[in-house]
Structure 1
Amino acid sequence: MAALVRRRTRAVRAVQQIDFNIAAGEVVGFLGPNGAGKTTTLKMLSGLLHPSSGHADVFGFTPWRRERNYLGRMTLIMGQRSQLQWDIPVVDSYRLNKAIFQIGDADFAARLDELVDLLELQELLRKPARNLSLGERMKCEFAGSLLHRPQVLFLDEPTIGLDVAMQRRIRSFVAEYNRRTGACVILTSHYMADVEALCKRVIVIHHGRLLFDGALTDLVHTFAPDKTIEVELAEGSATTAADVAALMGPSLISESPQRTETGWRVQVPASDTPAVAARLLSGLPVADLTIAEQPIEAVIEQVFAVPSADPSPGGSR
């Protein structure tokens, strides 16, 4: 019995109409949901993929031509990929990189000592990669990828799967490497703590298109113009949502006051926050009051909610 199958196919552009410039020494967050085109972009910039159209220039080189002088000035570190040889000691993988990048003996020794000190690798150098924990392996990956002193770092989810302490260690190391060498860093991460700690500028893409390119603070102001005021009331207070709303004024309430265990939480435009906080303090039996920006995770969710055909609010540059 024969079966007839009609295959249906469609073309998907992984990355399109993305245009940005990054200066030497910048640390830039490259953000987007799964499937947005982040890794595809980094693979093109590192020369692993050849785009069907478009142009990229890094240090005057076209990355996908894979010229030796370019490959010696960049590195790509992927949290889910390993460059270490599985069955040999870590230090032997480093010696292999030394030969590949033609690093002199003195430079190799000095750089290795510096990286071992920064990342506390002394106890790991003689271990085969297969015997390392994920956190230990990522520290060793960083050292091996930086022995040739690259001037641009493409970091694709470098802290994925790591515990909080190791994430903090990796972030501190990237910041220190950037400070010492002036290297440019492009970082993708789903951990917003990475972005907040390292990046003053962010580029956001969705469905392969640019949504935002600008300062992290501008991203918050553009997509989350409100602040959250949380009021803790004195014990026994019978304040209602209507009481809180009356003090704020209907034009300033972006959503209804939310009851908390000890009081109320409201969102108001950032420019009106001081006046509203003052009225709440004078009109309610307040025990404590806090004002906070919206969490960066919530801001990013609002960015992704923008239809993919819309132009970038931040513009490209």
Structure 2
Amino acid sequence: MKTIIETQDLTRIFRTYKKREGLKGSVIGLFKREYTEKKAAYDLNFKIEEGEIVAFLGPNGAGKTTTLKMLSGLLHPTSGEAQVLGYRPWKREYAFLKQVSLVMGQRNQLWWDLPAIESFNLQRDIYEVPNEAYRKRLDELVELLDLSKILNTAVRKLSLGERMKCEMVAALLHRPKVLLLDEPTIGLDVVMQKKIRNFIKDYNREHGATILLTSHYMEDVAALAKRALVINFGRPVYEGSLDALTEKYAPNKLLVVSFMKVVESAELAPIGQVISNESGVIRIQVPRNSVAERASALFNRFPVADLSIEEPQLDDIIHDLFTDTSHNESEKIMETAQPRDQLAAIA
């Protein structure tokens, strides 16, 4: 497979002035300034192959958006290198820009005071999309996202969800080969989130686009990506398949059981840890490697009416991975992260 995105020790450090308190501090600051540094991204090394959809995960402030900005050319790295489609992104060559799109849920690329259709027409001219191809693509996207009634409405009057749908249209009119998606379903209802996910999946399949996706909606990640890059405090924590991530950071499964008569939670302690007991449905956490044994014990000891086995939710896994009581705990996670050669074997 052809490598589309590759980084080598990619690092971005933000340097900010540390202002002293009071008038005296301000005067001193005129002659002697103190600065603080934040490593938004640090020594990132990864490869993404042609046609892959890769989830880029981490808590708020981990450095995900900073990395996407470097890959799109909006930010220049402090050190390190990156190649996207064979180009150095921050050189912002026209041939590169015509093949890449960045969609940011919290940023607006549309003209605020103009109707959305005017921004789409401008995108057509900037990317030199032939009129016939432009009209066909626009009609397809407008129908899919149900935008026909708002095309002539000023962007500032649209809801967040409507603006996000228009952002997706603007990003895809020129058929980019690389899509960098930063929270693409933010502000959308559940039905529209599913439509957007299906559209991204179809776009990837039909056009072979390479997609790097960040999202706090784990449904997006689970539905679209097979591989994940996880960072925290700007540093890589994990790289590999989502299945391997589940196995590494979720050593337990859940037995979801209902009984033919009342069974108290305390009676189930030998089976595993009771997580919840609501409306007659009990969820029991058991070690992944003893699921069959524990399920068999349930059937032998209790009047089971129904039993199912569930994987923990991906968002719970990510939450547990980054719920640290201190920075030292986060450092401990990074120290125990798998070496890159082992990760490659998993992937």
Q: Choose the corresponding residue for 2:125, options 96, 99, 106.
A: 99
Partner of 2:316: helix, strand, or coil?
Answer: helix
1:11 equivalent to 2:37? Answer: yes
1:118 equivalent to 2:144? Answer: yes
Which residue does 2:284 correspond to in 1? 266
- Opposite residue 268 of structure 2, the aligned amino acid is V
Post-superposition shift, 1:166?
2.1
Structure 2 CA distance for partners of 1:4 and 1:150, relative to 1, 3 Å: closer
Which residue does 2:313 correspond to in 1? 295
Contact 2:54–2:213 (8 Å) recurs in 1: yes
Structure 2 CA distance for partners of 1:68 and 1:2, relative to 1, 3 Å: closer
Partner of 1:310: helix, strand, or coil?
Answer: helix
1:277 equivalent to 2:298? Answer: no
- Opposite residue 296 of structure 1, the aligned amino acid is L
Question: What do the CA deviations read for 1:112-134 (whole angstroms, capped 9, x no partner)?
Answer: 22322332332232222223222
Post-superposition shift, 1:51?
0.5
1:244 equivalent to 2:268? Answer: yes
Structure 2 CA distance for partners of 1:13 and 1:259, relative to 1, 3 Å: closer
Question: What do the CA deviations read for 1:169-224 (whole angstroms, capped 9, x no partner)?
Answer: 22122112112211111111111111111111111100001111111111111100
Question: What do the CA deviations read for 1:80-131 (whole angstroms, capped 9, x no partner)?
Answer: 1111112222222111111111222222222222322332332232222223
Whole-angstrom distance in 2 between the partners of 1:240 and 1:134: 44
1:52 equivalent to 2:78? Answer: yes
Whole-angstrom distance in 1 between the partners of 2:269 and 2:138: 62
Post-superposition shift, 1:281?
0.7
Identity of aligned residues (%): 46
- Opposite residue 86 of structure 2, the aligned amino acid is G
1:74 equivalent to 2:91? Answer: no
1:312 equivalent to 2:337? Answer: yes
Whole-angstrom distance in 2 between the partners of 1:112 and 1:98: 10
Q: Choose the corresponding residue for 2:217, options 181, 185, 191.
A: 191
Which residue does 2:15 correspond to in 1? none
Partner of 2:44: helix, strand, or coil?
Answer: coil
The structure with higher relative contact order (CA 8 Å, sep 6+) is 1
Unaligned 5+ residue runs, structure 2? 1-21
Whole-angstrom distance in 2 between the partners of 1:2 and 1:121: 55
Structure 2 CA distance for partners of 1:4 and 1:149, relative to 1, 3 Å: closer
1:33 equivalent to 2:59? Answer: yes
Unaligned 5+ residue runs, structure 1? none
TM-score by length of 1: 0.89
- Opposite residue 60 of structure 1, the aligned amino acid is G
- Opposite residue 125 of structure 1, the aligned amino acid is L
Structure 2 CA distance for partners of 1:10 and 1:290, relative to 1, 3 Å: same
TM-score by length of 2: 0.82
Partner of 1:155: helix, strand, or coil?
Answer: strand
Which residue does 2:242 correspond to in 1? 216
- Opposite residue 24 of structure 2, the aligned amino acid is A
More strand by share: 2
The answer to which of 304-313 and 67-76 deviates more is 304-313
Partner of 2:223: helix, strand, or coil?
Answer: helix
